[in-house]
Amino acid sequence: MKTHEVQQNSSSLGHGLTSAVIGGAVGYAAKYALPLTSQEMDSDYKHVVNLIKRNAVKAKQEFFHEIKDLPTRSLAHDTYINSAKKFAKHNVCAYNTALKKIRPAAPFVIAGAVTGLVGSFVHNVFRTDV
Protein backbone atom coordinates (compact mmCIF):
# COMPACT_ATOMS: atom_id res chain seq x y z
CA MET A 1 0.00 0.00 0.00
CA LYS A 2 1.40 3.37 -0.99
CA THR A 3 1.54 6.24 1.41
CA HIS A 4 2.06 9.90 0.60
CA GLU A 5 3.04 12.83 2.64
CA VAL A 6 0.27 15.22 3.57
CA GLN A 7 2.20 18.15 2.11
CA GLN A 8 2.05 16.60 -1.36
CA ASN A 9 -1.75 16.64 -1.51
CA SER A 10 -2.97 19.85 -3.03
CA SER A 11 -5.96 21.76 -1.73
CA SER A 12 -9.21 21.28 -3.59
CA LEU A 13 -10.57 24.68 -2.52
CA GLY A 14 -9.72 26.23 -5.89
CA HIS A 15 -11.34 23.34 -7.71
CA GLY A 16 -14.49 23.73 -5.59
CA LEU A 17 -14.70 27.46 -6.21
CA THR A 18 -14.23 26.96 -9.94
CA SER A 19 -16.97 24.33 -9.95
CA ALA A 20 -19.30 26.65 -8.02
CA VAL A 21 -18.70 29.53 -10.45
CA ILE A 22 -19.29 27.30 -13.47
CA GLY A 23 -22.40 25.85 -11.82
CA GLY A 24 -23.70 29.36 -11.10
CA ALA A 25 -23.19 30.36 -14.73
CA VAL A 26 -25.01 27.24 -15.91
CA GLY A 27 -27.81 28.01 -13.44
CA TYR A 28 -28.14 31.54 -14.80
CA ALA A 29 -28.34 30.16 -18.34
CA ALA A 30 -31.03 27.73 -17.17
CA LYS A 31 -33.15 30.74 -16.21
CA TYR A 32 -33.69 31.36 -19.93
CA ALA A 33 -33.48 27.75 -21.15
CA LEU A 34 -36.17 26.23 -18.94
CA PRO A 35 -39.75 26.54 -20.22
CA LEU A 36 -42.37 28.63 -18.47
CA THR A 37 -44.11 26.98 -15.54
CA SER A 38 -47.85 26.65 -15.13
CA GLN A 39 -47.69 29.35 -12.43
CA GLU A 40 -46.16 31.77 -14.92
CA MET A 41 -48.75 30.90 -17.56
CA ASP A 42 -51.66 32.28 -15.56
CA SER A 43 -54.80 34.09 -16.74
CA ASP A 44 -52.83 37.29 -17.48
CA TYR A 45 -50.48 35.31 -19.72
CA LYS A 46 -53.37 33.73 -21.59
CA HIS A 47 -55.05 37.12 -22.00
CA VAL A 48 -51.91 38.69 -23.53
CA VAL A 49 -51.32 35.74 -25.87
CA ASN A 50 -54.94 35.86 -27.07
CA LEU A 51 -54.62 39.62 -27.61
CA ILE A 52 -51.47 39.13 -29.70
CA LYS A 53 -53.13 36.44 -31.83
CA ARG A 54 -56.28 38.52 -32.30
CA ASN A 55 -54.29 41.58 -33.42
CA ALA A 56 -52.20 39.48 -35.80
CA VAL A 57 -55.29 38.00 -37.44
CA LYS A 58 -56.88 41.47 -37.69
CA ALA A 59 -53.79 43.00 -39.33
CA LYS A 60 -53.50 40.08 -41.75
CA GLN A 61 -57.17 40.33 -42.76
CA GLU A 62 -56.91 44.09 -43.33
CA PHE A 63 -53.91 43.62 -45.59
CA PHE A 64 -55.59 40.79 -47.52
CA HIS A 65 -58.67 42.99 -48.00
CA GLU A 66 -56.50 45.75 -49.48
CA ILE A 67 -54.65 43.55 -51.98
CA LYS A 68 -57.39 41.11 -53.00
CA ASP A 69 -58.43 43.25 -55.97
CA LEU A 70 -54.92 43.50 -57.42
CA PRO A 71 -54.60 41.61 -60.72
CA THR A 72 -51.05 40.52 -59.93
CA ARG A 73 -49.15 40.52 -56.69
CA SER A 74 -45.54 41.53 -56.44
CA LEU A 75 -42.82 39.65 -54.61
CA ALA A 76 -43.10 42.22 -51.82
CA HIS A 77 -46.79 41.38 -51.35
CA ASP A 78 -46.04 37.68 -51.14
CA THR A 79 -43.20 38.30 -48.70
CA TYR A 80 -45.46 40.41 -46.51
CA ILE A 81 -48.14 37.72 -46.54
CA ASN A 82 -45.60 35.14 -45.39
CA SER A 83 -44.24 37.43 -42.67
CA ALA A 84 -47.76 38.26 -41.46
CA LYS A 85 -48.33 34.55 -40.89
CA LYS A 86 -45.28 34.40 -38.62
CA PHE A 87 -46.11 37.63 -36.75
CA ALA A 88 -48.17 36.10 -33.94
CA LYS A 89 -45.72 33.26 -33.31
CA HIS A 90 -42.79 35.68 -33.11
CA ASN A 91 -44.58 38.00 -30.68
CA VAL A 92 -45.68 35.16 -28.41
CA CYS A 93 -42.05 33.96 -28.36
CA ALA A 94 -40.88 37.48 -27.49
CA TYR A 95 -43.44 37.66 -24.67
CA ASN A 96 -42.23 34.31 -23.29
CA THR A 97 -38.65 35.60 -23.36
CA ALA A 98 -39.72 38.75 -21.51
CA LEU A 99 -41.37 36.63 -18.83
CA LYS A 100 -38.21 34.56 -18.47
CA LYS A 101 -36.16 37.75 -18.18
CA ILE A 102 -38.12 38.97 -15.15
CA ARG A 103 -37.67 35.67 -13.31
CA PRO A 104 -35.48 36.06 -10.22
CA ALA A 105 -31.99 34.80 -11.02
CA ALA A 106 -30.92 33.95 -7.46
CA PRO A 107 -32.63 30.53 -7.18
CA PHE A 108 -31.12 29.40 -10.49
CA VAL A 109 -27.62 30.65 -9.66
CA ILE A 110 -27.67 29.21 -6.14
CA ALA A 111 -28.94 25.82 -7.36
CA GLY A 112 -26.23 25.75 -10.02
CA ALA A 113 -23.48 26.73 -7.58
CA VAL A 114 -24.55 24.12 -5.04
CA THR A 115 -24.69 21.48 -7.77
CA GLY A 116 -21.18 22.49 -8.85
CA LEU A 117 -19.88 22.24 -5.28
CA VAL A 118 -21.48 18.83 -4.74
CA GLY A 119 -20.08 17.64 -8.05
CA SER A 120 -16.63 18.88 -7.06
CA PHE A 121 -16.90 17.16 -3.68
CA VAL A 122 -17.99 13.87 -5.24
CA HIS A 123 -15.18 14.13 -7.80
CA ASN A 124 -12.59 14.70 -5.06
CA VAL A 125 -13.89 11.88 -2.88
CA PHE A 126 -13.99 9.30 -5.65
CA ARG A 127 -10.88 10.21 -7.59
CA THR A 128 -8.28 7.47 -7.79
CA ASP A 129 -5.16 9.43 -8.70
CA VAL A 130 -3.23 10.68 -5.72
Q: Is the pTM of this model over 0.85?
A: no
CB atoms within 10 A of CB 55: 13
For 62-101, write each residue's pLDDT tens digit.
777 777 777 777 788 777 777 777 887 888 888 988 999 9
The pLDDT score that the predictor gives to residue 129 is 67
The pLDDT score that the predictor gives to residue 42 is 92
Q: What is the mean pLDDT of the chain?
A: 83
Inform me whether the pLDDT recorded for 52 exceeds 70.
yes
| First-to-last C-alpha distance (Å) of the chain | 13
- As a whole number of angstroms, the distance between CA 98 and CA 48 comes to 12
Q: Which of 19-23, 45-49, 94-98, 120-124 has the lowest mean pLDDT?
A: 120-124
